[in-house]
Amino acid sequence: MKNAYKQAGVDVTAGYESVKLIKKHIEKTLIPGVLGGLGSFSGLFQLDLEKYPKPVLVSGTDGVGTKLKLAHSMEIHDTIGIDAVAMCVNDVICQGADPQFFLDYIACGKNYPHIIEQIVKGVAEGCIQSQCALVGGETAEMPGFYKTDEYDIAGFCVGVVNKPDIIDGSAIEEGDVLLGLGSSGVHSNGFSLVRKIFGDDSKSLSKKYPGFDKSIGELLLEPTKIYVKDVKAIKEICKIKGISHITGGGFVENIPRLFMEDKGLTPVVKKGSWDIPKIFDLISKEGKVSQDDMFSTFNMGIGMILVVEKEYVDLIKEKLESPVFEIGYVAKKDDVVDIRFGQENICFV
């Protein structure tokens, strides 16, 4: 049977066209250490052992969850790749690692080369923001498993840190400051709730709400902020004692993860110490979501939290271009009113 595979739903020539289209985007991400070229069976990367004499590899993998449904409905495909990179690299830098390379995996019902190009364009942009290389990936055409107009994307990142420079929370002390780095919006968590509130079809997502100059779909598709450059800049100023990426579980689940061991300390978050973006007020109002649930689900305008000594706060605020907020401090558990959410300890004042 001629072109039997194509008649079964897999167009190999479309795959060749996709590779041709994404090549220029991948080339923009290449950094020292990348070996080989596009089309190899695997990606090669050589570590700089002068910069990292005691290298520890730090890895992370993730997807973007049901935020994808919005991209499908709105036919906006050039930002979801940024989200995929962000969700991985923002985890990796929490241990003090510098992202080195990234690989993506795209599964689709039908390979439309122009859509694959847009997705990978976003991935490449995320890698550029993360100062890491896109060294490979996979596009799997899976007819009968995905609808022809749907796809999924996931990613995998490897970073490296010198062993003495690993950030594990062990150096955190009473009196240290919680610094919050502003988010770009909802990022990539809580979208099952968001979709329940606003809907996920093109008509629902095109609605504009009072006080916003974009549709709700455009607001929600704002890509996740990548914090690699910010964290690198802060490391040049002072020692970072702990980092928490505020993802699924919001504040409540993620801030306590700063403390890798029980030293009798607890994070104290000062409500009102940062500007909560209007999108979260809208979510709360339209969905009748309580503040406790909001803080247990979303980042609430803070995408990453760092623990540093108080003396460096002003210098960090001065050096960083991104919004930085002093949102709390570290205290002894015995000295605060301990508020328990689920299995985690965190105090709001």
Please list the pLDDT of the chain residue by residue as tens digits (349 residues).
Answer: 456 656 556 666 777 788 888 889 989 999 999 998 777 788 899 999 999 999 999 999 999 999 999 999 999 999 999 999 999 999 999 999 999 999 999 999 999 999 999 999 999 999 999 999 999 999 999 998 999 989 999 999 999 999 999 999 999 999 999 999 999 999 999 999 999 999 999 999 999 999 999 999 999 999 999 999 999 999 999 999 999 999 988 888 888 888 767 778 888 898 889 999 999 999 999 999 999 899 999 999 999 999 999 999 999 999 998 899 999 999 887 777 655 544 456 677 7
Paired tokens of 43:
């990606």
Amino acid 22: pLDDT: 87
With tokens 């709390």, the residue in question is 328
Structural domains of the chain sorted by starting position, each given as residue range(s) with its CATH number in brackets: 4-165 (3.30.1330.10), 177-348 (3.90.650.10)
Task: Note the pLDDT of residue 8.
Answer: 56
Tokens for 12, please give them. 């190999």
Of the candidates 146, 32, 149, 163, the residue with the CA atom closest to the CA atom of residue 95: 163
Amino acid 178: pLDDT: 96
**Tell me, what's the pLDDT at 6?**
64
* pLDDT at 205 (0 to 100): 96
CB 19 within 8 A of CB 39: yes
Cα dihedral 77/230/157/131 (nearest 10):
80
80, 67 in Cβ contact below 8 A? yes
Tokens of 316: 């960090």
DSSP symbol at 94: G
pLDDT value for 342 = 43
Cα(213)–Cα(317) distance, integer angstroms: 29
Predicted model pTM? 0.93
User: What's the confidence (pLDDT) of residue 14?
Assistant: 76
- Predicted confidence at residue 339, as pLDDT, reads 52
Q: How far apart are CA 344 and CA 287, in angstroms?
A: 25
Alpha carbon distance 24, 242 (integer Å) = 37
